[in-house]
């Protein structure tokens, strides 16, 4: 089991999903905001609506015990991978399938670029978690994560800086790159996604403030490989319909992207 995890099973699954669907959706659950039962309920509805994986993490107030409870509860209900999205090395769960091994590239504090990673790496190894390296770039509003990680978010109006960071991530050997607008804020604009996609060949993840199908559609059209939503599941009365309409937006964006490529 442990050896299997280290072989990159989750990464292979993600890449296969992207190859098949072009742009995929992941659902983020924040243990500070949902309890284990609600998390399982949300994950199950998101899975039925077509989400490809469940991410678990948050910037503030998340312990390992809380993460364990969410992961175990979600894993009982859905067959898709549960990937940690840790805000700190103390939010790693041995029960997850993989961990986004994040470096906040535009942080001003080395702790968030290599320090927390140094503290967390031995835990990841001990737990036998599959580590998937992720160059994390905070843009626009930035939200709680930019405050916690001492990051000066990149302005939306300077997409070439985000693209340069993403290229640096590719040259440094990261496997994925993440454009983060900040949870609950203003989404990353398609212009930034387009600039990054034109520059790198890494799969690009986009998250933060995506609530409308039209936003998801524009981001998929701009080339996002993975679209992450979190807050929408906390706000929506009907989680299934909310995620379903985001995924329909994504599918529409993919169609438009393919048509414009012809």
Contact string (CB under 6 A) for ligand 1GP, positions 96-115, x = contact: --------------------
With contact defined as beta carbons under 8 Å apart, do 104 and 143 qualify?
Answer: no
How far apart are CB 54 and ligand 1GP at their closest, in Å?
Answer: 13
Site for ligand 1GP in 143-202 (CB under 6 A): 180, 183-184
Q: HEC states along the chain? A: CHHHHHCCHHHHHHHHHHHHHCCEEEEEECCCCCCHHHHHHHHHHHHHHCCCEEEECCCCCCCHHHHHHHHHHHHHHCCCCEEECCCCHHHCCCCCCEEEEEEECCECCHHHCCHHHHHHHHHHHHHCCEEEEEEEEEECCCHHHHHHCCECCECCCCHHHHHHHHHHHHHCCCCEEEEECCCCCCCCCHHHHHHHHHHCCCCEEEECCCCCHHHHHHHHHCCCCEEEECHHHHHCCCHHHHHHHHHHHHHHHHHHHHHHHC
Under the criterion CB under 6 A, does residue 228 sit at the interface with ligand 1GP? yes
How far apart are CB 29 and ligand 1GP at their closest, in Å?
Answer: 10
Token digits for 194? 């387009």
Choices 76-84, 163-171, 204-212, 239-247 (CB under 6 A): range interacting with ligand 1GP:
204-212
Q: Which of 209, 213, 223, 253 binds ligand 1GP (CB under 6 A)?
A: 209
Q: Which of 10, 210, 226, 236 binds ligand 1GP (CB under 6 A)?
A: 210
Choices 46-54, 167-175, 190-198, 229-237 (CB under 6 A): range interacting with ligand 1GP:
229-237
Q: Which of 36, 153, 207, 249 binds ligand 1GP (CB under 6 A)?
A: 207
Judged by beta carbon, residue 137 or residue 210, the one nearer ligand 1GP is 210
Under the criterion CB under 6 A, does residue 59 sit at the interface with ligand 1GP? no
Judged by beta carbon, residue 231 or residue 252, the one nearer ligand 1GP is 231
Under the criterion CB under 6 A, does residue 225 sit at the interface with ligand 1GP? no
The binding site for ligand 1GP (CB under 6 A) comprises 28, 180, 183-184, 207-210, 228-232
């Amino acid at each position: 089991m442990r050896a299997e995890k280290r072989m990159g099973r989750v990464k292979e699954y993600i890449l296969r999903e992207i190859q098949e669907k072009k742009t995929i959706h992941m659902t983020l659950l924040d243990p500070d905001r949902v309890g284990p039962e609600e998390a399982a309920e949300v994950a199950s509805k998101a899975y039925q609506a077509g989400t490809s994986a469940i991410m678990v993490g948050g910037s503030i107030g998340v312990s390992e015990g809380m993460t364990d409870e969410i992961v175990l509860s979600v894993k009982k209900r859905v067959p898709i991978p549960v990937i940690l999205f840790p805000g700190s090395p103390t939010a790693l769960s041995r029960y997850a399938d993989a961990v986004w091994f994040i470096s906040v590239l535009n942080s001003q504090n080395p702790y968030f670029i290599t320090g927390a990673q140094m503290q967390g790496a031995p835990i990841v190894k001990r737990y036998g978690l599959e580590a998937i390296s992720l160059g994390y770039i905070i843009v626009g509003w930035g939200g709680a994560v930019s405050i916690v990680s001492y990051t000066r978010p990149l302005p939306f109006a300077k997409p070439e800086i985000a693209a340069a960071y993403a290229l640096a991530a590719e040259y440094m050997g990261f496997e994925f790159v993440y454009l983060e607008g900040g949870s609950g804020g203003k989404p990353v604009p398609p212009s930034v996604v387009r600039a990054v996609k034109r520059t790198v060949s890494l799969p690009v993840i986009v998250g933060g403030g995506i609530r409308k199908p039209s936003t998801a559609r524009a981001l998929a059209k701009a080339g996002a490989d993975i679209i992450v939503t979190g807050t929408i599941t906390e706000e929506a009365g009907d989680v299934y319909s909310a995620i379903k309409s985001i995924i329909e937006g994504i599918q529409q964006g993919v169609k438009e992207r393919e048509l414009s490529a012809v």
